[in-house]
Amino acid sequence: MLWGKTMKYSYRTGLLFGVLLIIASVLFLPPFQVEGQRTNQGKTSLRSEMIVSTDWLADHLNDPKVVVLHVARERGHFDEGHIPGARFVGWGEITATRDGVPNELAPVADLQKVFERVGIGNDARIVVYGDNSGLSAARAYFTLDYLGHGERVALLDGGLEKWKAERRTTSTDKVEPKTVRFTPHVRASAVTNLDVVRDFSWTATNVTSPSAVLIDARPVEEYTGAKPGDGVPRGGHIPGAVNVFWMQNVQSKENPVLRSVAELRKLYEEAGALPGRTFVTYCRTGGQASHAYFTLKYLGYDVVMYDGSFFEWSNTEGTPIVAGRERK
């Protein structure tokens, strides 16, 4: 009889303990980790593999699985001195004018030929740097990400500017890589169009907590319309867009090292960054927006780019435009 009472008591005690344990786990343990997010303070997960240091590159220059791309608007930027072994890709090789809009993504078949010619193949680790404080490198990253190869591309932090400042070796030798097979796996979701951005703009100006944030990566004078920019007939910005000039992502024009993660997070959180929101970047013709695209993806956010950018928006009849610093 005593044995039976003891068993009943032990069972009830164990059951009570189990219930209390479950309640404690719900109240005090961190939530399950969601893909693309950290468990601490809801921060997005940093994609640290998207940048490499000059030290890392110096240690891997002779690695056959590493391909270095030098991207610039003019060939002379490469010829006057490049990182040893780097292959040249011209800005004009990865962009095209479509329906009067400059600097659009070039046709996939053309891009495939470019990357096959420089010998990057389908499995190499790709490190990109270039002119204009990293702007051309970021455009190359966006292009390769669009082609489905972004997971193996990294920007050289600080670019050629930092490499030279550290007095590392440069070369003027011609590089003649072997042509290899490059297979595009187009990610249509990396880029968006005017009609979709029109909807995003309406949401950004009419919904309290919109699911998307429009980032205008141009200088403030272009955002306000004070200096519209070449080919822009109507100055200002897309309604609802927040201005985060792309140069705010780096230390300076002369030292284009990315700012600290804490500084970058603060910059974009002030612009409306929240886990679960999608960023839509644009500029005048898609160049500056590429750097914003890279930086936001590096920080772990979902991001797409409006490649036609404000050039297309401003030249399209009936699209609303806001002048001045007000978002809407």
Do 129 and 250 touch, CB atoms closer than 8 A?
no
Q: Dump strand ranges (E) for the chain.
A: 51-52, 66-72, 87-90, 95-98, 101-105, 125-130, 153-156, 191-192, 212-216, 242-243, 278-282, 302-306
Is 17 within the bounds of a domain? Answer: no
Task: Assess whether 17 carries a catalytic annotation.
Answer: no
| pLDDT confidence of residue 274 | 86
**Residue recorded with tokens 């670019």:** 159
Determine contact, residues 166/173, Cβ cutoff 8 Å: no
Do 165 and 195 lie in one domain? The reply is: no
Those residues with Cβ within 8 angstroms of residue 90's Cβ, 6 or more apart along the chain or in another chain: 71, 72, 73, 74, 75
**190, containing H or E segment:** none
Choosing from 167, 187, 207, the residue where a domain stops is 187
| 31 belongs to a structural domain | no
pLDDT value of position 43 = 67
Around Cβ 119, how many Cβ atoms within 10 Å?
A: 16
Same domain? For 215 and 91 the reply is no
pLDDT in tens, the chain (328 residues): 333 443 343 434 443 444 343 333 333 333 323 233 333 345 689 999 999 999 999 999 999 999 999 999 999 999 999 999 999 999 999 999 999 999 999 999 999 999 999 999 999 999 999 999 999 999 999 999 999 999 999 999 999 999 999 999 999 998 899 999 999 999 999 999 999 999 999 999 999 889 999 999 999 999 999 999 999 999 999 999 999 999 999 999 999 999 999 999 999 999 998 888 999 999 999 999 999 999 999 999 999 999 999 999 999 999 999 999 999 8
Decide which of 157, 187, 217 is a domain's last residue.
187
Task: Indicate which residue of 283, 303, 304, 322 is catalytic.
Answer: 283
Domain end among 145, 161, 187: 187
For residues 234 and 247, give the distance between their C-alpha atoms in angstroms, rounded to a whole number.
24
Residues 223 and 302 in one domain: yes
Number of domains present in the structure of the chain: 2
* CATH number of the domain to which 263 belongs: 3.40.250.10
22 inside domain: no
The reply to whether 108 and 204 lie within a common domain is no
In a domain, 86, yes or no: yes
Q: Are 195 and 177 found together in one domain? A: no
Range of the domain at 150: 48-187
